Amino acid sequence: MSFDEDLKRAFDALSDRLHAEVQHQIDATVAELRAATPVVEPVSLARPEPPGPEPTAPGEDLTSLVSAIRTMNEARSLTDVLDTLATAAAQHARGAAVILRRRGRHETWRAIGVDEPFDAPDATWLPLSISGEPIGDLYAEGGSPDAIEILARHAARTLEAMTAFKTARELARQADAATEAHLNEEDASAQRYAKLLVSEIKLYHESDVVAGRRERDLTSRLGGEIARARVLYDQRVPPHVRQRADYFHDELVRTLANGDSTLLEFQA
């Protein structure tokens, strides 16, 4: 079987595991979030609840949204994304909380300006999911429903992207490992075949080998046998392997010439 066929089989095997690997990364992401320690800020630390919507300068809401989205994009961990989501949502409402689903129940990850029970009549609830896997909700009281929805959707997409990158890195690592292992096996196979061919020359022409070393005319004495073995080697070993290294010549030097490559040079 050719190298290309073997490599295709290796990549096909990796592709077959793609779905399982993606699901594994999703499960790992959800587990990481569920295992993290929640941060609940007391209501007293939040900004005072205003009697009504706070006036904002033109473009202020958009600027803060863009800033929050940029911060999520630059986040280095899943928990950073959730913290940014809670903080940004609270800026566009009287208060907000990120609530995660842990072991079949809901637990507050972070709350700013609100406290349990979360049951305000003007509250907005938005689900947070990773590739269809629900991990929690964003709760916000009052404020701008559109802004809250934008933040929740972008946070979910950011979490999905992080999961996808983890999956891609793992698949790339597996592909690199499979390719390297395959290349190593091909090289090892070529080396074994070269050793077999050259060992046969030495076995059946031992007196010529001894004399050729002494008289420094190995190539003249064994040129025909070496050429025959070279043809067999080239027929068996793929071209791309022969381009990487000449294992046949290396074996000639090691086995026939006893490590002295000059013994294999043609004599005038």
Residue 197 lies in a domain: no
pLDDT at residue 252, as a whole number: 93
- pLDDT value, residue 11: 46
Q: Is residue 189 part of a domain?
A: no
Domain endpoint, select from 172, 192, 227: 172
- Domain match, 14 and 95 both: yes
Q: What pLDDT shows up at residue 163?
A: 74
Domain stops at, among 155, 172, 189: 172
Buried b (16+ CB within 10 A) or exposed e, 208-226: bbeebbeeebbbebbeebb
Question: Helices marked H in 205-217 — which ranges?
Answer: 206-215
Q: Is 173 exposed, middle or buried (0-12, 13-18, 19+ CB in 10 A)?
A: exposed
Beta strands 95-102 and 133-141, pairing class: antiparallel
Indicate whether 166 and 209 sit together in one domain.
no
Instruction: Collapse the DSSP code of 252 into the 3-class scheme (helix H, G, I; strand E, B; otherwise coil) and give the result.
Output: helix
pLDDT in tens, 119-152: 899 999 999 887 777 888 999 999 888 999 999 9
**Residue 226 belongs to what domain range?**
205-264
Rounded Cα–Cα distance for residues 229 and 236 (Å)? 11
Domain boundary among 127, 157, 172: 172
> 């190995």: which residue's tokens?
218
What pLDDT sits at residue 266?
57
CB atoms within 10 A of CB 62: 11
pLDDT for residue 135: 85
Give residue-wise pLDDT tens across range 6-41.
545 544 554 455 445 545 555 666 566 556 555 545
**Number of domains present in the structure of the chain:** 2
pLDDT of residue 106: 83
Mean pLDDT of 174-187: 69
65 and 10 within one domain = yes
What is the chain's mean pLDDT, rounded? 77
Residue 117, domain member (yes or no): yes
